[in-house]
A and B are shown apart, each in its own frame.
Chain A
Amino acid sequence: MSKIYVIKRILYTVLVFFIVVTLCFFIPRMGVDDPCARYYPAQGNMSDESYETIKELTRQQYGLDGSTWSQYTRYINNLIHGDLGTSYRAGSPKVMDLIADRLPWTLVLSVSSMVLCFFFGVIIGTHCAVKRGGWQDRALMNASTITTAVPSFFIALLLTFFLGFQWEIFPAYTDQNLVSSFDWSLESMGAVAYNAALPVLSTMLGGIISNAQSVRNSVISAARENFAVTAKAKGITNRGVLYKHVLRNALLPIVTGLGMSLSGLIGGSVVIEQIFNWHGMGTLYLEANNTNDYPLMMGIMILISAFALAANLITDLCYGLLDPRVTLGEKV
């Protein structure tokens, strides 16, 4: 992997990020007529001049003064210094602070769901591959055709209904004091796990099945390779061949896929968070949407895009490291 390739790749990523930021900046400015007129509708008893003054003050307060171009340069300048702007919420909190407050809670859901999906997916998938054609395998096949057609929020509602309301095993809504009373003690961590059970479960079910299906296919195709036959011919037991030789190779594409889906982690699942009223990025975005809090919406979108870009960049560079044939022309 040449240095030039790495530099080109990084520069290109920065360029794409810049375009994404530009789009995120101009899209909210396409439709809105005059944000201040929206914020302060004209009052009957007010002279035009004082109304203009009020609007001008509002613009200054929310950083909407000056031409669009000067707003844009200001935004980019702030972004370079790591500042995503100020939210329109009461108290004008920084967008960064709001996101930093919510991000860990989303990660609790998405990371645990991903880890569990991977774990159970590998176990079930390997098992089904070993019992290929057996009832387990057929059950997995049938389950995968069904779960892929069921949206996760429907599963979430079903789980809420049965486990939450009917049998009252897990809380149907997140405890509202969960966030404020959290203090790293074992007890409050247990409470988080208890409250996170249903959201994680509902995102997990479909994921496990589809992961298991791809692990199964991957294991079966790896078992046909020559190295597996050689290992078997050397006299290694079936179990040894499976765990030491086949599984290691079969999991490579799965892990690669996992790396690709990393960028989905920080956005969180908007619908699931909404159903369980989880204190995460998804609900933050919906709150921002309901209050027309454009800086916050832009900030979240830019952050997710940046994360996706970084993940792509790292994946590509790793590929380049492993396979020197990759060059900029082929892989971008």
Chain B
Amino acid sequence: MSLIKGMFIGIWNFLKKIWDDKQGRTGLIIAAFLALVAIFAPLLTPYDPYDVAMRDDKGLSPSLEHILGTSITTGQDIFSMLIYGTRVSLSVGLITGLAIAFLGTALGVAAGYIGGIVDMVLMRIVDVMIVIPTLPLTILITNIFGKSYVVIVLVFVLFGWTGLARTVRSQVLQIKNTDYVKAAELSGGSKGYIMLHHIMPAVSHLVVISTALTCAGIMIAEAGLSFLGLGNPTAISWGKMLADAQSGGSMLFGQWWTIIAPGIGIFLSVFSFMRIGLAIEGILNPRMKKSGDARKLWKHMNHRYLDEVLRSMEDTV
């Protein structure tokens, strides 16, 4: 019990530190706002966003009844869709980010600390996975196993842990030879105990930073995949709203709000996680405050999706 209590206190203190950082506070406020919107979406929406058959008012302009008008393809209320889109973006981003953090850390620590055959096998797998282009692979796998967010998250996790694992591994290789680890080994600590209590805390800062930034990157990737029509066909997501607006020709009719609204949604969610990531970096790594790792990581992130994000993490250590 005390362990869980301690964990909560630790998380609380950490959040407080982020709150004290100017960048981090912006990020936290936006992220908390989006989380609340996602949780209470049914209470906030004036219309049922899935309601495609009831109305034949397609492509309406903003009015008091429909704050952001209705979509041009099916006549859904855009404001309601915007609110529901938060759910997909946040859940896909968070679940994938956390899963990658877990898998990447576990395998990275194992490869670095145990070494030998484990290390060799894992690193050879990484070498292969890093070469395969992620976006085409995701498209191929959704083609085979069906279009759904479950498949997308699985692909992201299965092929996304490699970068973090590499980074963690090289950090572990340095820590492995420090005095306190040697002392723990000499006093008879088992490998599992040392990995859990001595190695993990030492790499945790890397994991936390990369998780925040991976979440942001995954959100962009999710929007891109939904835009290409590879997400759940029935789900409502910002990327799909953009695709509908584009294919329905609402730009042709000058309905700029149909593009701006989901775009701002994507921007806010990615922006908040990015801010939080940068703030964490400043807290845990004060020397790097200016022009640090996170910016370097982020540099590659924008256009080339996940694999580039994770590949660029190599540079950080």
Contacts and interface: CB of A to CB of B under 8 A. Distances in A.
Nearest 5 CB-CB pairings of A with B: A31-B144, A149-B271, A217-B291, A149-B270, A154-B263
B188 interface: no
Contacts of B279: none
26 contacts: A16-B127, A16-B128, A17-B131, A20-B132, A23-B128, A27-B141, A31-B145, A146-B271, A149-B267, A150-B266, A152-B302, A152-B303, A157-B242, A157-B246, A157-B263, A158-B259, A164-B251, A165-B254, A213-B299, A221-B291, A270-B135, A271-B224, A271-B228, A285-B139, A289-B139, A305-B131
Interface string B275-305: 1000000000000000100011011111110
B144 A148 contact: no
A304 B133 contact: yes
A23 B132 contact: yes
A206 B303 contact: yes
Contacts of B260: 158
Given A297-B136, A301-B133, A150 B267 contact: yes
Interface string B252-277: 10101001100100110011001100
Contact of A16 (B131, B256, B271): B131
B306 to A, nearest CB: 13
B136 to A, nearest CB: 5
A269 B303 contact: yes
A271 B138 CA distance: 14
Nearest to B225: A271
B131 A20 contact: yes
A32 interface: yes
Interface residues of B, number: 48
A132 to B, nearest CB: 11
B24 to A, nearest CB: 13
Contacts of B216: 149
Given A165-B251, A308-B133, A157 B259 contact: yes
Nearest to B137: A301
Contacts of A24: 132
B133 A267 contact: yes
A27 B300 CA distance: 28
Contacts of A149: 216, 267, 270-271, 274
A154 B242 contact: yes
A270 B243 CA distance: 14
Which of B136, B144, B251, B274 has the most CB atoms of chain A within a 10 A radius of its CB? B136
A112 interface: no
Contacts of B301: 148
Given A20-B128, A151-B220, A304-B133, A30 B144 contact: yes
Contact of A207 (B123, B220, B252, B303): B303
Interface string A139-159: 000001111111111100110
Interface of B: 123, 127-128, 131-133, 135-137, 139-141, 143-145, 216, 220, 223-224, 227-228, 242, 245-246, 251-252, 254, 256, 259-260, 263, 266-267, 270-271, 274-275, 291, 295-296, 298-304, 308
Interface in A62-102: none
A148 B135 CA distance: 19
Interface of A: 16-17, 19-20, 23-24, 27-28, 30-32, 144-154, 157-158, 160-161, 164-166, 172, 203, 206-207, 210, 213-214, 217, 220-221, 261, 264, 267, 269-271, 274-275, 285-286, 289, 292, 297, 300-301, 304-305, 308-309, 312, 332
A151 B224 contact: yes
Contacts of A300: 136
Contacts of B131: 16-17, 20, 305, 308-309, 312
A274 B139 contact: no
A30 B145 CA distance: 9
B253 to A, nearest CB: 9
A145 B144 contact: no
B143 A153 contact: no
Contact of A264 (B123, B137, B254, B308): B308
A263 to B, nearest CB: 9
B133 A153 contact: no
A160 B251 CA distance: 8
Contact of B144 (A32, A154, A161, A305): A32
Contacts of A31: 144-145
B310 to A, nearest CB: 13
